[in-house]
Amino acid sequence: MPMKNPMVSSKDINKRPSFPMQVLVRKEIAAHIRSWRFIILILLIVLTFGASLYVSSMGLKDAVSNMRDPDQSFLYLKLLTTTDNSIPPFHVFLNFLAPLLGIALGFDAVNAEYNNGTLTRLLAQPIYRDNLLFAKFLAPLAVVGTLFVALVMLMIGGGLLGTGVRIEPQELLRILGFTLISVLYVAFWLSLSILLSIRFRQPATSALTAIGIWLFFTVFFPILVNLAIRPFLPNPNYISEQEYIGYNELILNLLRLSPSQLYSDATTTLLMPSVRSLGPISMEQMVGAIPSPLSFRESFLMVWPQVSGLSAAMMICFAWSYYIFMRREIRS
């Protein structure tokens, strides 16, 4: 068989700088974009975004002209948060959908490669093992990030065209902050589902486990916290206001163990500039306070614990998956 020196000599290969990470991420992104799973997810997100935007733009006139609302001048934030209660606003929707997005993009990240017999083949190439893991993590995030940024940009653009109202720099910052936190929230669920995809050999098992965890946090966790606290809770009529606030604070802090609570705290604060506390405030604290919006910096400082909590949870999941993946037997 004639061979026109098809083998590039190994010297050439060594000379050229190689970026296996880039190649891996590109391949992952391509695989995600072409997959039906991702198309369905995009449709879902775009639909909810469109629906909530439609509802909010219907009620926009009332919301903006409501003089008693300190946030009334933030038209673009209103566009994201106003609702007539027929459907929830987008950030509440995302509280449910973002975990689904993260789980769907990560639940078979490693075990599908393993079951297809591609993992051994891939790791026999001159790449580091963690390159693969980073690519599995970064590629979906890049896709999700692009999706979210595109959506909010579309919203801002549409708002500019429709209303002609100038966007405040503060609003832009808040909306970008909201996007960033949403991506971070997806990143947490993604790293959790990657962890499960390494831990379990069957994609169905890891998907079910991830969905189980998601359901637990969204449905059962608040109920459980209530059940756990109620027996210890004295009758509110017989305790001082101080104690009452203390108990309230305790319940809230317990709820904040759930990532979805952290996310909703953070997004609510960022998207509603007048939110100045995430817990109960006593009358003494309220005295003299003018109901005015906070600056972006103040709002951001307020959600900083939530943001760091989410990042910490994400990093723990990722570090754990890193640990078990590096030492895993890769033979099938």
Residues 6+ apart with CB under 8 A from 115: 201, 202, 203, 332
Segment contacting another protein by CB under 8 A, of 21-29, 98-106, 164-172, 180-188: 21-29
Long-range contact pairs involving 312-316 (C-beta distance under 8 Å, separation at least 24): 313/188, 313/259, 314/184, 314/187, 314/188, 314/191, 315/191
Each residue 100-139 as x (binds another protein by CB under 8 A) or -, in order, gives ----------------xxx-xxxxxxxxx-----------
311 binds another protein (CB under 8 A): no
Residue 41 or 225 with smaller CB distance to another protein:
41
What is the nearest approach in angstroms of another protein to the Cβ of residue 136?
14
Which DSSP string do the residues of 205-231 spell out, in sequence order? HHHHHHHHHHHIIIIIHHHHHHHHHGG
37 binds another protein (CB under 8 A): no
What is the nearest approach in angstroms of another protein to the Cβ of residue 213?
20
Which residue among 72, 163, 170, 202 contacts another protein (CB under 8 A)? Answer: 202
208 binds another protein (CB under 8 A): no
Which residue among 189, 200, 221, 322 contacts another protein (CB under 8 A)? Answer: 200
CA-CA distances (angstroms) from residue 176 to 91, 272, 308? 13, 14, 17
Q: Which of 109, 312, 313 shows the shortest CA–CA distance to 195?
A: 109
Instruction: Please tell me the distance from the alpha carbon of residue 288 to that of residue 226, in angstroms, as a whole number.
Output: 34
Instruction: Please tell me the distance from the alpha carbon of residue 170 to that of residue 175, in angstroms, as a whole number.
Output: 9
Give contact residues for another protein (rule: CB under 8 A): 1, 3-4, 6-10, 13-14, 16-18, 20, 23-24, 27, 31, 34-35, 116-118, 120-128, 200-202, 329-332
